[in-house]
Structure 1
Amino acid sequence: MSKNRPRSSETKPTKAGTGLADLASLRDALKQSAAERERERIAAAKAAREAAADAEIFRREIGHVAPIAAAARAVHGRTPPAALPLQTQRDEQAVLNEAISDEFDPEVLLDSDESLYYCRPGVSQEVVRKLRRGDWIVQAQLDLHGMRRDEAREALAEFIRDAVKRGLRCVRVIHGKGLGSVGKEPVLKGKVRAWLVQKAEVIAFCQARPHDGGAGAVLVLLQPGLTRPGAARQDRGDSAS
């Protein structure tokens, strides 16, 4: 008599049953996804219809619209003028117009031996001696030949102003010996000395040496403290300060 094996109270699922369950789950997921896409499509279509309806209402309310005609504009082809340094011009004009009198007599301030010379109070006589010896390099010159008195005065004022701005120390002014003037009198010679004495920038001057113009020219030494900042000094010899 054979022995009977005990039966299990639960039946284990077969592989076929498991596969059918998976397919059912997949089918449900696909249906759910399709339904979601359909809802989104319907919502988008509804929003588009509403937007189109709103636009149509707006067009009916506004009516026909035409762009505004733009007014004709003139085209300026010219280049605007450069800005004028008015304050600089006023300052320079003030320098040129500063009081240098024709009535001033420089003889009271001039020393003389074989030639006239001048140095501002407080300036060493050694400075003048070096100027007369030619120890200072002449860095610029002004020729007043052929100028009338007023022209010469303005030219001298502008020349001194420009020399100071450039940082020059020693310059030459040629006034001539007066051989071509009426009475053979050197008119500009005395005027130049009178004008130079009145210029604060001038600390000394003397008659030029023969090969530099002699009695027809004067060597002028300018104040170093009045030069613009950074200006190059191209002199030789000791400082006049």
Structure 2
Amino acid sequence: MSPRRANPTPDFRDFVIWERETNDTIDLKKIYIDMAGDLKAGVMLSQLVYWRLPRKHRSDADTRLTIQRDGRLWLAKSDRDWWAEIRLTPKEALGARRTLEQRGLCTFRVWKFANNPTTHISINEDRFMELWEQLLNTPLEDREAGRIEPRVKRALVRNVGSKPQSGNRRKAASSEHVQDDAGEDEGGEGDPRYYQKGNNEITKRVITELPKGQKRNYQKGNNRITKRAKTKLPKR
């Protein structure tokens, strides 16, 4: 007769009971992912909303946030704190913070908290409400299929109150903005090679890869491309 195990392996029914009873969850609405344009940033935004909302059985004006500075409410969280909250590593939390800042959804400052320099986060409520309303007015089937209206996409990539940290980011943001404005007809208003001028006139600038041996001729008032052939000298 084989000895009985002191701790028998639980079967799936034990897991079902645990799943029903546990409250170790993250409440996430998909609209926050749509607003942030990224899954990890959307999870962080959802958690920020949780802290901003009032406690249960409290008035709507009540909130879980207790830090007030510069006329707004702040949440103090270091990048390491986000693992305990929503299972984001410090590197992932940093990327999510940058995404939310670039979308104009949040403002970040570093101040002392418990005598340690800590990142403080505040939701830009006007910007938040703008994107929330736009997405609510987008048909659900379009959002679920990834078809977001162009004006919402432009709002998502618009950089409000912050600057990209490098020229590459600035170039990427500019390219993404042009792509979002693009339509179907090439050579028309939807052409990504169109640039809006200060006098509201649209002019076309074609970016062309020149064959070897040709150079652009940037003469005043003349944007045409002329050919400058390279001449091979006879060998001596």
Question: Is TM-score (shorter-chain normalized) higher than 0.5?
Answer: no
Select the structure of larger CA radius of gyration. Answer: 1
- The interval holding the TM-score normalised by the smaller chain is under 0.3
With the length of structure 2 as denominator, give the TM-score of the two structures.
0.25
With the length of structure 1 as denominator, give the TM-score of the two structures.
0.25
Flag the structure with more relative contact order, 1 or 2, with Cα contacts below 8 A and sequence separation at least 6.
Answer: 1
